[in-house]
A and B are shown apart, each in its own frame.
Chain A
Amino acid sequence: MRFHMQQAFRAIILLLFAIYIIKLHYTGDILKLINPKYDVISQLGVIILLVLFVAQLQRVWSAKSEDHDDDHADHNHDHGYSSMNIKKLVSYSIVVFPLLTGFLLPPSTLNASIAEKKGAMMSITNSALNNKKEEEELAAEVESSQPEINLPDDQTQGELENPPENDLLSDDNPPDPNLDSNTYSQEEFRQMAQDLEKQSTVHMDDSVYTLNMDIISMNLEKYEGKEIVLNGFVYKEEGLKDNQFVLARFIITHCVADAGVTGFLSELDEAVDLQEDTWLEAKGTIAIQEYNGVDLPMIKITEWKKIEELEQPYIYPHGIMIR
């Protein structure tokens, strides 16, 4: 019997990776790293790691007779039986590095300094512009195809009288307002836009944040003067007035590396005293404000209070299905 130190070392690295990911799921810190949509695949990753760990255990002890010796000079594909050298030490240190930082340093939430790096106001004005364009195209489309214009109204009534096919579908997949599966059909999108218009106050809940954002910037005029309730962190950028800031949120598609910034330009007299990265819950009215030649929704904040950073600090983009 021979004990292979390196094989044991590899086994423990595999195990530590698995434990690290399990720990992230257990403590909920995983929310600070990836979109919960990928929870399942990440758990699958843990299972593979554990299976590999068990397979690797078999190699820790070998009988003398089946001793591997793969020290041949041209063998780059390392099986971990050859003796330790500097090169291997370096590569093992690299593999251990994320485990060290992962266990030793707490995951942080992206903050205003990252928002600045990403050019927050640029993203916000851009998405406003995109939404406006889309609305114009949609309007043009509706105009060109006259019969469709009545569709939304018919549908509101039709829905109540439940067309049989629709009913079947919704029985099988009840509408899931879950944050991680917020995909809507175009019909539903139109429906939600209509519903939102009827409400006196717009609530920017996390699950509908990006959706409401799109609806508001597509029909900015209709929402002027409307009341809005939302939360976010304070972000200030050069070029904004002293009483202005962005009440910002990060959107995560996959992982925090692809985070984008969204949020509303806000106006508040006490803004000067507010530190960046302070989380606020705010109530205000929507106004239209021009910024770099683009009309943006701006919130005139009337009521606000400081809050703790949210448990789930990020929001996730909604999707609209093709048909």
Chain B
Amino acid sequence: MFRIFRSSLIDFTGIILFGLAIFLITSSESLRDAINLPTSVYNMNTIFLSILIEALPFVLIGVVIAGVIQIFITEDHIKRWIPKNKLMAIIMSCVVGAFFPACECGIVPIVRRLVAKGVPIYAGIGFLLTGPLINPIVILSTYMAFGNDLKIALSRMIIGFFVAILIAFVISLLFKSNQLKVGLTNSSCGHTHSTPTESITRKIANVLVHSVDEFFDMGKYLIIGALLAAFVQTYISTGALAATGNGEVASSIALMMGLAYILSLCSEADAFIAASFSNVFPTASILAFLVYGPMIDLKNTMMMLSVFKARFVVTFVFIVTVIVFGTFIIVQGLY
């Protein structure tokens, strides 16, 4: 009796909320014409929404995978799978990342959940770095963007892979604990929802509910990141920025890395943008753009802040920057 009452109450609430949503939308239509803003604001809004609409499905998929990990994978599994040896664990995580077709938005909730489940921070970082950088779609789009030249695409993968291992190794030396924000670790998540006796429907319901929480946690950082990136694109001239490069390799590497950071492009799309700079800048700096962008950018930094301690994120960005910059200073002679 009570259950029937509750479920019809839920149905009723659903209908009410749906009605409310429709009401809000129709009332916004009439407001639409009353608003008059400068064109650049409309442009910025369009870029902002497009980043968001583009990223949203990937974040949602990431969030659902994270929910599945939360409910179905236990700390014991993780302990058995991850090699004891630190270096082996790092290499394994980078290889797994390379085979895992993720983009940089979708991977953050997954890494968060893995680290909360006891994956060491350095292995999580290895996975985070190679996931978006090395995957078939990225290889293909890079290959196409650079006039069907396999050299750039291969260099991107190979250098990126070794840089990722190096970064994860440095992280393993500097940080011992999981670096998650206080309260994000699994143990403090007060309710016990993954006892093995629970029914499968109950488990799935738990996955979904967890996904909702994750979506709201992560969503706000994604939104801020998208807004910042849209602002940069609307009001800062990348063309003029590129013109400030004086042809020196070191300064152009720094410039292209800066560009990769603020533009916050998806790793599958950034190759086309990089290609448009390819005759203005030396190849080493183009590669720096292609390797650095998927590892860390403005949007991604915001999302990482939702997961990790601020001090860790700042250190991480610093390490990635220094190592990528250093690597391309060293290998520039090859191109």
**Interface residues, chain A, with chain B CB atoms under 8 Å away:** 1, 8, 10-17, 19, 21, 23-24, 30, 32-34, 38, 41-42, 44-45, 48-49, 51-52, 54-61, 63, 68, 70, 72, 74-80, 91, 94-95, 97-98, 101-111, 113-114, 116-120, 122-123, 125-127, 129-131, 133-134, 186, 251, 253-258, 260, 317, 319-320, 322
Contacts and interface: CB of A to CB of B under 8 A. Distances in A.
A104 to B, nearest CB: 6
Given A95-B220, A257-B50, A80 B147 contact: no
B57 A48 contact: yes
A127 B43 contact: no
Contacts of A17: 56
Contacts of B10: 57-58, 60-61
B224 A118 contact: no
Given A33-B50, A95-B216, A119 B224 contact: no
B205 A58 contact: yes
A320 B148 contact: yes
Q: Which of A14, A52, A54, A111 has the most CB of B within 10 A?
A: A52
Interface string B267-300: 0111011011111100000000000000000000
Contacts, number: 270
A122 B242 contact: yes
Given A55-B209, A110-B43, A117 B182 contact: no
Interface string B221-242: 0011011011001111111101
Interface string B23-47: 0110011011001010111110111
Majority-rule SS of B interface residues:
helix
B45 A10 contact: no
A126 B35 contact: no
Contact of A130 (B52, B147, B183, B269): B147
A260 B13 contact: no
Contacts of A11: 13-14, 17
B106 to A, nearest CB: 11
B323 interface: no
Contact of B238 (A59, A91, A118, A322): A118
B60 A48 contact: yes
